[in-house]
């Protein structure tokens, strides 16, 4: 087994810190604001929950509280982008892009406006808020939109880097954030580049069975732990971290597929329309291979504790291991 050298030093023992990815967004937005005075921020009555408050406190004249009006927020941001600003709009993913999808499509994506859309509290790990507030369709909604970049950061550090990268990228970007504290796998030194995937766990090449795990978002930690367990069971498993779902790193994905007998995709999202769909759509044309998709299987979420829900919907370490053994 080989972990990427830039990961947390205690990753092998599982003793890693925990923090919400939204914290990384707050830190990254504040830093982006200090670097570039064109950066502005808008919120829809969820300033503190999305961690936009850090920016608002530092740059009150560059912050707009639009109230509970996500559709208006998207349109206002498009106008600000047309005037040379770099707007970041943040709300819960259920409301943005959920409620404001048409405005995002028509005023932002259609015009290739330089607006960054932040969907916080995504996935079932929102927990007790329940199905109405658990966005598990947002990647699909945004991936089909022309001109849109789609990112699912793995942890706090990567969310900060994604925010800074989005500020420098010319065009619309969507990235999803979580509410709950999740394992911080990467470090401040770990690389991040829009559109680039990276193998973070390389399999033991002496083992005959070869399973490749493609993962996005905060389930990266579960995928890494599953790969460790599989190796102990005599199964060679590698983990490809795909923080950017669109544009897909097709070169890395094809290479990864060639090196394995079967693939698995792991995401905290519906298995339809998300990472699993993006991977299978591409490989079906260039490198047909058996792919097992792990995620939410055509269901809504429900209330519960985050870890309970991750296990209930089959995205925990034990289910990933069990699925890999069956391939």
Proportion of the chain above pLDDT 90, given as a percent: 94
Whether pLDDT at 31 is above 80: yes
Q: Domain containing 120 — which CATH number?
A: 3.40.50.970
Is there a single domain that holds both residue 135 and residue 256?
A: no
**Per-residue pLDDT averaged across 284-306, rounded?**
96
Is there a single domain that holds both residue 209 and residue 78?
A: no
Domain end, chosen from 183, 203, 221, is at: 183
pLDDT in tens, 85-99: 999 999 999 999 999
Is there a single domain that holds both residue 49 and residue 80?
A: yes
Confidence band of 1 (pLDDT split at 50, 70, 90)? low
pLDDT in tens, 249-277: 999 999 999 999 999 999 999 999 999 99
Q: How many domains does the chain have?
A: 2
More confident residue, 220 or 13: 220
What was the pLDDT predicted at 193? 97
Confidence band of 71 (pLDDT split at 50, 70, 90)? very high
What was the pLDDT predicted at 159? 98
Domain end, chosen from 126, 161, 183, is at: 183
Angle, CA of 33, 34 and 36, to the nearest 5°:
65
Q: Domain containing 303 — which CATH number?
A: 3.40.50.920
Whether pLDDT at 14 is above 80: no
* Distance of alpha carbon 81 from alpha carbon 279, whole angstroms: 32
Judge whether 70 counts as a catalytic residue. yes
Identified catalytic residue from 31, 48, 57, 70: 70
Domain that holds residue 43: 18-183
What was the pLDDT predicted at 277? 98
């Amino acid at each position: 087994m080989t972990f990427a050298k830039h990961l947390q030093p205690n990753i092998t023992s599982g003793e890693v810190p925990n923090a919400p990815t939204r914290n990384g967004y707050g830190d990254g937005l504040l830093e982006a604001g200090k670097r570039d005075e064109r950066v502005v921020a808008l919120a829809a009555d969820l300033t503190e929950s999305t961690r936009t408050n850090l920016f608002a406190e530092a740059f009150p004249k560059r912050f707009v509280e639009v109230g509970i009006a996500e559709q208006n927020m998207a349109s206002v941001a498009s106008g600000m982008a047309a005037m040379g600003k770099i707007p970041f709009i943040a709300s819960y993913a259920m409301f943005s892009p959920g409620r404001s999808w048409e405005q995002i499509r028509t005023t932002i994506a259609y015009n290739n406006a330089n607006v960054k859309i932040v969907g916080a509290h995504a996935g079932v790990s929102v927990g007790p808020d329940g199905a109405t507030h658990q966005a598990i369709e947002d990647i699909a909604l945004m991936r089909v939109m022309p001109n849109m970049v789609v990112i699912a950061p793995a942890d706090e550090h990567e969310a900060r880097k994604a925010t800074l990268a989005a500020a420098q990228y010319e065009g619309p970007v969507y990235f999803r954030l979580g509410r709950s504290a999740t394992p911080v796998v990467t470090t401040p030194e770990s690389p991040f580049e829009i559109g680039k995937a990276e193998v973070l766990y390389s399999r033991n090449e002496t083992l005959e069975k070869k399973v490749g795990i493609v993962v996005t978002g905060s389930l990266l930690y579960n995928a890494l732990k599953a790969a460790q367990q599989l190796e102990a069971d005599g199964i060679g498993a590698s983990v490809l971290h795909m923080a950017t779902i669109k544009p897909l790193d097709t070169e890395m994905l094809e290479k990864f597929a060639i090196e394995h007998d079967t693939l698995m995709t792991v995401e905290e999202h519906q298995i339809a329309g998300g990472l699993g769909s993006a991977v299978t759509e591409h490989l079906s044309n260039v490198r047909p291979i058996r792919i097992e998709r792990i995620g939410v299987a055509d269901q809504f979420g429900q209330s519960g504790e985050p870890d309970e829900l991750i296990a209930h919907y089959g995205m925990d370490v034990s289910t990933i291991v069990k699925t890999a053994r069956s391939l």
